[in-house]
Chain A
Amino acid sequence: AQKVTQAQTEISVVEKEDVTLDCVYETRDTTYYLFWYKQPPSGELVFLIRRNSFDEQNEISGRYSWNFQKSTSSFNFTITASQVVDSAVYFCALSGNNRKLIWGLGTSLAVNP
């Protein structure tokens, strides 16, 4: 069975703090894809990143970075120098051979001024 766990339900930080959102996944597929999405208060779902199971290189995009570790089945997301506009619910998702996206329950991030 496939599963995605986001253990942090809610996180609250003060602006400019660094924050890491955890994502742990389970799958028996050898080829799979991991995703992060952002859902701001306006409600839309915004794609942030896709990572395939053969690429364990960390990725950085501006203040965002992702740490993929197959050894611990984790795909963590770090926001450096957080800003109020980063306040949102963040979802981690997994896609394997069955072509369906399996979603975590999301982490609600509040960045306070």
Chain B
Amino acid sequence: DAGITQSPRHKVTETGTPVTLRCHQTENHRYMYWYRQDPGHGLRLIHYSYGVKDTDKGEVSDGYSVSRSKTEDFLLTLESATSSQTSVYFCAISDRDRGRNTEAFFGQGTRLTVV
């Protein structure tokens, strides 16, 4: 299994509080992604990173920010959590091998509940 760890695995938080989810990899992969998964919507990209300090928005980035200060860690922050951000969050990593996209490996997911 790819070395990718998400923490925490479960979290319940109150509306309006800040929340940070952490993704840690030991594969030295260049690309890291944060997705959310909701019934009826599949996987939606929140933000992704293509290198240290290089990040870009995905399709559902509002209300989220990310940081990547080193290759192995990609943090997702909800500045002020809302109930609509209740979801399962997945981190993924991938790389490029001789110019070709490799497959993405996923963490175990974080179930976040905002009450």
Contacts and interface: CB of A to CB of B under 8 A. Distances in A.
B108 A43 contact: yes
Given A44-B109, A45-B106, 4 more contacts: A35-B104, A99-B48, A101-B92, A105-B42
Contacts of B43: 91, 103
Contact residue range for chain A? 10 to 19
Interface residues of B, number: 25
B42 A103 contact: yes
Main secondary structure of the interface of A (DSSP, over half): strand
A106 B106 contact: no
A101 B35 CA distance: 10
Contact of B108 (A33, A44, A47, A91): A44
A105 B104 contact: no
Interface in B95-115: 96, 100-106, 108-109
B8 interface: no
Given A91-B42, A91-B43, A100-B58, A47 B105 contact: yes
A47 B50 CA distance: 21
A70 interface: no
A95 B101 contact: yes
Nearest to B109: A43
A50 B42 contact: no
A99 B102 contact: no
Contacts of A37: 106
Given A100-B58, A105-B42, A52 B100 contact: yes
A38 B41 CA distance: 16
Contacts of B96: 99
Given A45-B90, A99-B31, A33 B105 contact: no
